[in-house]
């Protein structure tokens, strides 16, 4: 795995040149933001050694390096989900490559179902913590001690300073930001009403099928993490209506302007000018 990480990193260094310090992962329906990157160098995942190829609908599957809000960023337009059949270490692979490239901050976004009864579709939620309900973990297996510790702390997985920046960005833009706990289910089935009651009882505010593996791998290798969910629907059993993938994409697309403004401002505040 270490050799594969290094080969992917060497390839990207050659393609991208100086690598940005902040990487952004765009979730379902939110990938359009990558089109706003200026001075873009676009690398399809299929060209990067050992990178998996994304099969999720409307996940474009490319890495875009360039500028957003004047700051240099590396954007993953499309991520790898466990439900696609990728082994956990492949889901986390890009994060480890970012680390090898010198990335310091990882900003993850996703579409999520609202489990908190006070939430509404279209809300943005700053992730304060997560619950891993899957029994999966990308760090299972031999530990590379040069990357991170065998046993590592997750008590501040979502960086307090980056969260403060996100709150500030939301306030400046007049956007209400919820703040809550994200619970990870593997999918691809949406949850049952009973599973949502379970998650809510355990303290979850939103549920989704991504992000947690990347966060665990990122904390392991010392990246500072920020996560934001776009609540695209109320989770199962809250409303008397089925949940559909179309609805998820429709709501995230509808919130694109606000989401874009929020992400841009956060990037601007989180990356020093000139970098």
Site for ligand HPA in 236-255 (CB under 6 A): 243, 248
Cβ 233 to ligand HPA shortest distance, Å: 5
How many other C-beta atoms are found inside a 10 Å radius of the C-beta of residue 46? 11
- Here's the x/- map for ligand HPA, 22-61, by CB under 6 A: it reads as ----------------------------------------
Give the separation between CA 167 and CA 164, rounded to whole angstroms. Answer: 5
Residue in 141, 146, 155, 256 with CA at minimum distance from that of residue 215? 155
Residue whose structure tokens are 């299972």: 140
CB of 131 to ligand HPA, least distance (A): 13
Type and span of the H or E element at 270: helix 256-270
- Residue number with CB closer to ligand HPA (29 or 52): 29
Q: How far is the CB of 1 from ligand HPA (least distance, A)?
A: 28
- The least CB distance from residue 69 to ligand HPA, in Å, is 26
For the purposes of burial, counting CB atoms within 10 Å of the CB of 179, is it exposed (0-12), middle (13-18) or buried (19 or more)? middle
- 237-270 burial: b if 16+ Cβ within 10 Å, else e: bbeeeebebeebbebbbebbebbbbbbbbbbbbb
Which of 262, 68, 115, 268 has the alpha carbon at shortest distance from 176? 262
Interface with ligand HPA (CB under 6 A), residue total 13
Of 157, 217, 233, 270, which lies in the binding site for ligand HPA, with binding defined by CB under 6 A? 233
- 214 near ligand HPA, rule: CB under 6 A: no
Q: Which is nearer to ligand HPA, 31 or 208 (CB)?
A: 208
Check residue 235 for interaction with ligand HPA (CB under 6 A).
Answer: yes
Q: State the minimum distance, in angstroms, from the CB of residue 231 to ligand HPA.
A: 8
| Residue partners of 77: CB distance under 8 A and separation at least 6 | 26, 31, 34, 59, 60, 61, 62, 63, 64
Give the footprint of ligand HPA on residues 90-149 (CB under 6 A): 111-113
Interacting residues with ligand HPA between 171 and 200 (CB under 6 A): 190-191
Alpha carbons 252 and 232: distance in angstroms, whole number: 6
Instruction: Tell me the residue nearest to ligand HPA as measured from the CB.
Output: 113
The residues of the shown chain that bind ligand HPA, judged by CB under 6 A, are: 111-113, 190-191, 207-209, 232-233, 235, 243, 248
């Amino acid at each position: 795995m270490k050799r594969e990480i290094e080969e992917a990193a060497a390839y990207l260094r050659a393609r991208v040149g100086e690598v940005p310090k902040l990487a952004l992962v765009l979730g379902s329906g939110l990938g359009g933001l990558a089109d706003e990157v200026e001075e873009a160098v676009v690398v399809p995942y299929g060209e990067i050694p050992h990178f998996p190829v994304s099969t999720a609908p409307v996940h474009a599957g490319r890495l875009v390096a360039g500028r957003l809000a004047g700051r240099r960023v590396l954007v993953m337009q499309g991520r790898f989900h466990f439900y696609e059949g990728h082994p956990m270490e492949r889901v986390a692979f890009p994060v480890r490559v970012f680390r090898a490239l010198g990335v310091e901050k990882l900003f993850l976004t996703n579409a999520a179902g609202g489990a908190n009864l006070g939430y509404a579709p279209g809300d943005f939620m700053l992730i304060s913590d997560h619950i891993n309900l899957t029994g999966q973990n990308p760090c299972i297996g031999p530990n590379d001690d040069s990357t991170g510790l065998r046993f590592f702390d997750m008590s501040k997985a979502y960086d307090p300073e980056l969260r403060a920046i996100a709150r500030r960005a939301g306030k400046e833009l007049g956007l209400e930001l919820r703040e809550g706990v994200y619970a990870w289910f593997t999918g691809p089935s949406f949850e049952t009403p009973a599973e949502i009651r379970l998650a809510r009882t355990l303290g979850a505010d939103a549920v989704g099928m991504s992000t947690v593996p990347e966060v665990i791998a990122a904390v392991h290798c010392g990246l500072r993490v920020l996560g934001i969910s776009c609540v695209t629907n109320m989770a199962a059993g809250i409303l008397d209506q089925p949940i559909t993938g179309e609805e998820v994409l429709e709501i995230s697309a509808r919130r694109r302007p606000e989401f874009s403004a929020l992400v841009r401002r956060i990037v601007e505040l989180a990356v020093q000018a000139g970098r």
